[in-house]
Amino acid sequence: MAAETNPKRCKTDVCQLKLRSQELTGDASLDGADPEWLRRTGSRAQLYAAGYSKEDFAKPIITVASPYMSIHMCNQKFRELADVVGAEIEEMGMKAFVSHQPVISDGQTMGTSGMRYSLPSRDLIADCIETMHEGYRADGLVVLSGCDKTHAGVLMPILRYNQVGIVVYGGTGRSGEHNGEKLSAGTPFEGLGKFSKGLIDLEDLNKLECNSCPGVGTCSGMYTANTMSTCLEALGMMLPGTSCDPAAQEDFRTINPKIIQSCKASARALQTLMEHRITARQICTREAFENAITVLMALGGSTNGVLHLIALAREAEVSLDVHDFNTIGDRVPYIGNLAPSGKYNVMDLAPVGGLPAVMRALLDAGLLHGECLTVTGKTVAENLAHVAPPASTQDVVYPVDKPISPAGRHIRILKCSASSAMRKPQGSLCPGGAVIKLSGKDIPSHRGPARCYDDEKAAYEAIMAGKIKAGDCLIIRYQGPAGGPGMPEMLSPGSALVGAGLGKSVPLITDGRFSGASHGIMIGHVVPEAHRGGPLALVEDGDMVSYSLASLELNIEVSPETLEQRRQNYTLRAPPCPERSWLGRYSKHVASASEGRSLGRTPTPTGLVNMRESCEWQWGACGCPEQEAHQLDAALLLRAARVDVQITFVIQVQMRLSCHDYQNDKHGPEASTAGLDPSNHDPCHALPPFHSSCTNYINIFIKLLCVCVCVCVCVCVCVCVCVCVCVCVCVCVCVCGENVFYTHRDTCDHQKMRTGTAAAAVAVVAALYYMAFEWPRVKFPVHTSGAVIVTGASTGIGFSTARFLAERSDFVVYAGVRSNKAADRITSQGLSNLKPVLLDVTSDESVQAAVQAVVDDGHPLVGLINNAGISIQRPVEMATLADFQRVMDVNLYGVLRMVQATGEQLRAHQGRIINIGSIVGLIASASAQPYGASKFALESVTHSLREDMQQFNVSVSMINPGAIKTDLGGKIETSFEQLPSETAHLEAVYGKLMTSVRALAAKAFRLGAEPEDVAIDVMHALTAPYPRTRYVNGNALEAPAWVATGIAWFFPQRLASLLGNPIALAENL
């Protein structure tokens, strides 16, 4: 009868793709009376209310993310498109849930204070999608993108969590027309400039206003939205040929059938990705990002693409920085005759073959990586195999060998060079870089007086009033990510310059950004920004500012003494928003433009920059020898000692300060101002000065860390001294008998006692020295192939470990699972050396059968990883004997069964045994029974097993995870909710304790490490010639483990083992 309460078993292959959402609905493969199924009763009750049926609980859940607003032309049709995607997903036998995210229109908010929210909305969209997808534990994502920020915003959470997902573009807008001329979203802004100069009248301006954007879809030119759509297709996250289709039919309102078809095809493609477990990071590699940058440079994309691609790369953990855009741009010609610099709009690409035709031309020229994977499951080269490059008879896209302009003539990154650092009295205005967009134009070097404005509105009014003259340098500052805040676009003043006829004679320099519709001499993304003490903050009206594209320099010609005086008198401005507001929090935590302007990263320090000393602003860009190697060594050392990444960052900052000292020692304190030979001097030698409080905190932290290490070493030395004293006393007793403790002169032969004591001391010192430095370390045979069994591999640490070993080694990994569904999940990973084996460690018959199946497979058994475990954690008084028996049967007796079943094979092949324990097996905690007892017992068994097996060259290691991000945290909380009837009456007595334990568990597991961290230690214990006896991981609970096992960090393994075992120490002495 119990089984009948469960939904029907899924009879289609698609239901095998339900890999995460059973956490929400319950696992439909379980019996209806199973506690794990019953635990989700309340959740299913509410899903019934939302329209679910019993059969739906067995289906995968797909997130359909839709940034939508009803008055936003780019995304206005997204509600209908989301419904199309959802219906297709339902038709395929899966369940879709649609969530909408907020979205801001740049064009509508341009020139207002609301524009400050535009770029931050990218990160807000990403966080909203992450919240919904992770909160509901969905199995895959289809995300819709339209307006420029939405492209990066919808993809960032997919990369952040390395999920299976696909992007669907809502389509570009159709071109407007007036007097036979094609219009675009930037036309009205330029029209204002023309109107201010009397070049057009009010009637013409009104017609531009009414006809530039005739219907739904993104801005029609190669502006940011279409830049990012083409980049994402090149990146491999969109279906080929879907980045250039118009959003609407010719009536400008009805959705284009090609967009409907794209939505349906993308939903079907997602199923293929899920079946083959192709995740976003498998597609978005370094080479894929290079492909995206290549397309951006070839088609004349927006400078905002620099921000968004760097932000996406950071989410994908791909190394990419602003200077890579110069490197790639130097080999890519400019071939796209597209607005704002060309005469066509993006929809005109479709008739000539769309982006696939462009990519085929670039691939044939050797400019793309054809081996990159895409959402089709095929590589770029395979997708383009039957695509022809654009015909030579059209002029929308020029041939690669006959481009509009040669390579290196589109987006360029300005930077500080050796010449600008040494030439006086100049200093760089962009120590961390700046961006300029050429779009094939010849822009000569320029030198002119600065006209400085601290907000966009004042600059715009100055242009309209005719205060800006040809030859001036217009500077608009305090518009950066932190100072704006939000890095608003400068389209209004930039377009006004162009419309006023000043587009070729007045450069606009800003720490803000530009719309993709902007053209002219636009220099943006200046780093460091004025709000964070960048040199831009010190410029005054009339200062001579110059730039050179030949040397990629942007300089201010002011004497060092003058700049120093300004620096002393300067006061930092507060951002114009409440500190507790969304923008206030954003301003505090956002990174610089050269870092993709992403949240969640350590921002560049605030404080005025010494321009004579500051060439490279980014961390890790110090010019002292071997600095990078020192940072790497420190990171590896701290990783070996399990030090948190925050400490690693502090160590690197301290190294930067030391590097600064090194350069001063090398060149002398006058190196920053005195004339040095440029060939012998590194201009990037100095750091921006820290606030004194920041430096003090760093130094104090480092000193405290050193003190802690010294204390630990002293404790260990004291232990050694005590051992020596004890041994000396024992030797004296042996020599002089019991009378050694008396004081009578004639009781003992003092000469004999002195001789014995000296001999004992020499023997102890020699023995300790031998054990510490001469005693051969315990070396075990190294295996690079063979069979490895991982128990408890259905989920969590076991699953991650099995997959990690299969991906990173030649071992044949047998993943022990308890159900056919879990076995199917293992098989679906697509790894030939990862095999499921049905294994229940509580059953002798199952254990013997599983081990025999592995042996019969023909591979020598060289590794056993005992990971299977269950968790029941309660106060001792509330834990029944049945609880203890159940936990022990898995956590302890299961290990014994596996060891006894595999012992003969492991001895014969000199294999390895790795037991996964817990931090609570080292340190007792409240409400941790019977789980804690099982792990303490496992510690004892592991230690004895190590001594037993060492004679057979079988290594035995213990891994003690702290808080790891698995479902164990939830099970700890629910262990209070499923109390046995005989102890349920105690719930009120222990209520306060249980509440605090729940809260602690929730926090610990939220901050915990990834399961892959455990897998890394397992790999070391399995393959290293000198495996450690104990590994500790899991960020939240590492500190107590250091105390419990501290001796092992400071002494050789053999000596530490002996010091921890007095009997063995006596035997060896």
**Cβ 11 vs Cβ 59: under 8 Å:** no
**Cβ 610 vs Cβ 428: under 8 Å:** no
Read out DSSP for 180-197?
A: TEEE-TTHHHHHHHHHHT
Candidate list 515, 794, 809, 1057, residue with the active-site label: 515
**Residue 665 forms beta bridges with which residues?**
none
**Cβ 74 vs Cβ 219: under 8 Å:** yes
**Annotation marks residue 53 as catalytic:** no
The stretches of 197-285 forming alpha helices (DSSP H) are 202-211, 224-235, 257-275, 280-283
**Cβ 596 vs Cβ 460: under 8 Å:** no
Apex 962 CA angle, 958 and 968, nearest 5: 105
Q: What is the dihedral of CA 8, 14, 17, 21, to 10 degrees?
A: -50
Cis? peptide before 528, omega within 30° of 0: yes
Helix (H, G, I), strand (E, B) or coil at 794: coil
C-alpha separations of 735 from 725, 726, 750, 768 in Å: 15, 14, 10, 22
Phi, psi of 300 (to 5 degrees): 80, 45
Q: What is the dihedral of CA 1044, 1048, 1050, 1054, to 10 degrees?
A: 150
Cis? peptide before 340, omega within 30° of 0: yes
**Cβ 184 vs Cβ 222: under 8 Å:** no
Determine the Cα–Cα distance for residues 697 and 229; give it in Å rounded to an integer. 45
**Residue 958 forms beta bridges with which residues?**
915, 1030
Q: Which residues contact 158 (CB under 8 A, 6 or more apart)?
A: 141, 143, 165, 237, 280
The DSSP element (H or E) to which 96 belongs, if any, is strand 95-101
Phi, psi of 552 (to 5 degrees): 55, 50
**Residue 957 forms beta bridges with which residues?**
914
Determine the Cα–Cα distance for residues 171 and 245; give it in Å rounded to an integer. 6
C-alpha separations of 414 from 303, 447, 614 in Å: 13, 16, 15
Determine the Cα–Cα distance for residues 254 and 174; give it in Å rounded to an integer. 12
Phi, psi of 579 (to 5 degrees): -60, -35
Residue closest to 794 by CA, chosen among 815, 769, 768, 770:
815
Query: Hey, which residues are catalytic here?
Result: 515
